[in-house]
Amino acid sequence: MDSQSKSTIDRQTSGFYSENYSNTGFEPWIVKHICEPLVKRIPPTVHPNTISIFNHAVCWLVFVAAAVAPYLNPIHGMAARVVAGIGVFSSLVLDCLDGMHARRTGQTSKLGEVMDHWLDALNVPLMGAAMILTLSLDPWTTAFGIVTASACYNAQLVLYHHTHRFVHPTTSGVDGQVYLTAVYLFLAGFFYFFPQDLRWVLLSSTVFAWLVIFISIKMDLFFIRRLGGFLPNHLVYLLFCTLFSALYLVGMMNTVVYVVGITMISFRLTGSYVLYTVLRKPYSGSDWWVGLWILAILAGHYWLEPYQIRGIEVQSVIPYLFFLTVVSLNLWDLARYLPELRYSRSRKAAPADSTNQDSR
């Protein structure tokens, strides 16, 4: 669900344009032989946003299946990773189908564009975290893997917002998801025969994870070199993620809470870039609410640790209040700009780039 294969909407008429540096391998074949036949079978009554939301649900399924796999018996763990792999490929196809269906039925709109890319601010870190968690790695590798996976999309959106350039890096998102699908299927069989607690298996998993982290950092640097004076806007995102990661690394939260927290930071900051870019409104990439909640989690750990309400530690509730705040703020932003976003685009305005079928 990496959005590197996204293209700019109405780039000929809105002043936004696309730069494609990717050497696509699987994408044209998948679009022609899978997506195009499938889109013809989708009833016109199905709204494209419904497909986007269903795709988001599939991403959560991938995350849950991959995360629980290490704690299941070998046969069930293998099945969970197979489900995760199928889910990744299904998400790839759905990510193409929502835009294709929107253009086919004349339902393209600003709201559709926001929903498509907005949900990716959740989907990208979820997909990255799913792979990290299914490998059962140490906290430092987990933190680096999740942050670097989400940082690339933020850098891409910062560049898009401030320069009107939607840049595709050297590896397309579709190709990345195909490779991810293959990795899940390989791991399903590999961990069935070789327990994850074996020293050499754990070492192999760690080496593989750091290879993926290296690729993610390399892709982030691809965008950083193009940000120029807008680099501080991206560094704000990295700062918030680093501070939140520090709370995790010192033991103030478990891995699941940490993953959801990074996902919420991405949703709030990167997701807001999507909304304000479509609306043509300025956005700095920062949000004081995120900083306040990070401080609240830190303060709660030291000052509220002894307090309990009906057996529930008060400090453990603070991260969930943070998640609720982020979702509420984003839904409020969407609701107050909804009249502007409901403006429908004509089919003629949609880009004709056949290799980027998911944009709308």
pLDDT tens digits, 309-350: 666 777 788 999 999 999 999 999 999 999 888 765 544 333
Element (H, E) at 248: helix 231-249
The CA–CA distances, whole Å, from 279 to 98, 164, 182, 206, 235 equal 21, 13, 38, 42, 23
Q: Is residue 256 part of a domain?
A: yes
Q: Is residue 357 part of a domain?
A: no
Nearest to 49 by CA among 124, 123, 108: 108
Number of domains in the chain: 1
Does 18 score more than 70 pLDDT? no
- The backbone region for 254, taken as left when phi is positive above 0, alpha when psi lies in -120 to 50, beta otherwise, is beta
Does 304 score more than 80 pLDDT? no
Q: Is residue 354 part of a domain?
A: no
More confident residue, 168 or 280: 280
Q: Is residue 18 part of a domain?
A: yes
Q: CATH number, domain at 342? A: 1.20.120.1760
Q: Is residue 360 part of a domain?
A: no
Q: Is residue 355 part of a domain?
A: no
Number of C-beta neighbours around residue 45 at 10 A: 7
DSSP 131-155: HHHHTT--HHHHHHHHHHHHHHHHH
Q: Is residue 356 part of a domain?
A: no
| Residue 2: strand, helix, or coil | coil
Q: Is residue 358 part of a domain?
A: no
pLDDT at res. 15 = 53
pLDDT at res. 17 = 62
pLDDT at res. 36 = 92
Average pLDDT over all residues of the chain: 86
Specify whether the CB–CB gap between 81 and 69 falls below 8 A.
Answer: yes
The residue segments making up the domain with residue 112 are 3-349
Confidence of residue 135 (pLDDT cuts 50, 70, 90): very high
